[in-house]
Amino acid sequence: MNVFTLIIIQPIFNLLVLIYALIPGHNFGLAVIIFTVVIRLLLWPLLKKQLHQSRMMRQLQPEIKAIKAKTKGNRQEESRLMMELYKEKGVSPFSSLGVLIIQIPILIGLYAGLRKVVDDPHQIVQFAYPGLQHLPWMQYLSHHIHQFDDSLFGLVNLTRPAIGGKGGFYFPAFILVAASAIIQYFQSQQLMPTSKDSKGLRAIMRDAGQGRQADQAEVSAAVGKSTKYFIPGLVFLFTISLASALSLYFLVSGLVAFLQQSYILRKDESEMEQIAGSPAKKQVKSTQKTTAESAKNDTIEGEIIAKKAAKRPKKSKAGKRKRRKH
């Protein structure tokens, strides 16, 4: 067993097997759904920070354009000012890669584990950790492997691909593939900036062909718009010839991610800045604290002056009349 199998494939596969062995009914499709939700919940803290950083990057676009206009093509000066701006606002341009990087080994591990089950159903027991092999259902399954339910509630055989395999075209799996690509599209579109004035990638390339210098912000926006079509297309092509359990993973993962993003994007911006540990937020809090302390001190001083004034002896009206007569 190589190192990658030991530290990536086997732990991910065994988490799936543990869920499968413990859930009532021991349905493999339900186990994949629960497994996917667990993974998305584990990624929740990283996702919150990533979405906040993406939102901050969109809010900085006017300042970024101002820097580009100020530097007038001086790339070195532009880069220096951009880095200073990012540092001042507490923004990391590469923070959005975190969730993607973490999910890559998860997908590889899940795919490798599913391949083992598709090629030999006995692997669901043999590839499990010894502790899992002693669970009651796993012990029963080791002697009655035909009881292994590899379907999604009896509707879709999760070991079959949509295209290819022994039975040719498999329509239930194709529905999962198409649904996973559609939810990936809406998930990507949710994070796209809604600027009507931004140019498309073709328009930018046409301008470049005419000798006009392309604005990097416009290029990034155009690439982002293309990504919302590229990622769903990639998911569709990648999963259509693989076991449909992988399509189910993409479908559930995309759906949960869409709901998570909807929740985070509706949250108050001040709370989002607190999550990301923004220096600007800390500065606002410090200013508010200083203002509150100053107001408190002014109140205390006012109370002291009022007490002193109250202790002074008051001159009677009679005394005032006597002084007037004299």
pLDDT at 152 over 80: yes
Residue 20 tokens read as 């499968």
**Interatomic CA distance for residues 232 and 184, integer angstroms:** 5
Q: Is residue 323 part of a domain?
A: no
307 or 286: which leads in pLDDT:
307
Q: Is residue 325 part of a domain?
A: no
Q: Is residue 20 part of a domain?
A: yes
Residue 144 tokens read as 């009655």
198 or 120: which leads in pLDDT:
120
pLDDT mean over 165-175: 88
User: Is 0.75 surpassed by the pTM of this model?
Assistant: no
Of the pLDDT bands very low, low, confident and very high (cuts 50, 70, 90), residue 198 is low
Q: Is residue 147 part of a domain?
A: yes
Q: Is residue 317 part of a domain?
A: no
**Interatomic CA distance for residues 44 and 64, integer angstroms:** 29
Helix (H, G, I), strand (E, B) or coil at 27: strand
Q: Is residue 324 part of a domain?
A: no
Residue 323: exposed, middle, or buried by beta-carbon count in 10 A (0-12, 13-18, 19+)?
Answer: exposed
Helix (H, G, I), strand (E, B) or coil at 163: coil
The percentage of the chain sitting over the pLDDT mark of 70, rounded to a whole number, equals: 68
Other beta carbons within 10 Å of 164: 13
Range of the domain at 129: 3-280
**Interatomic CA distance for residues 250 and 181, integer angstroms:** 8
Residue 218 tokens read as 């416009």
**Which residues touch 218 (CB under 8 Å, ≥6 apart)?**
198, 199, 204
Q: What is the mean pLDDT of the chain?
A: 76
**Interatomic CA distance for residues 185 and 157, integer angstroms:** 25
Looking at the structure of the chain, the number of domains it has is: 1
For residue range 21-37, list pLDDT tens digits in order: 999 999 999 999 999 99
**Interatomic CA distance for residues 246 and 243, integer angstroms:** 6
Q: Is residue 295 part of a domain?
A: no
Q: Is residue 258 part of a domain?
A: yes
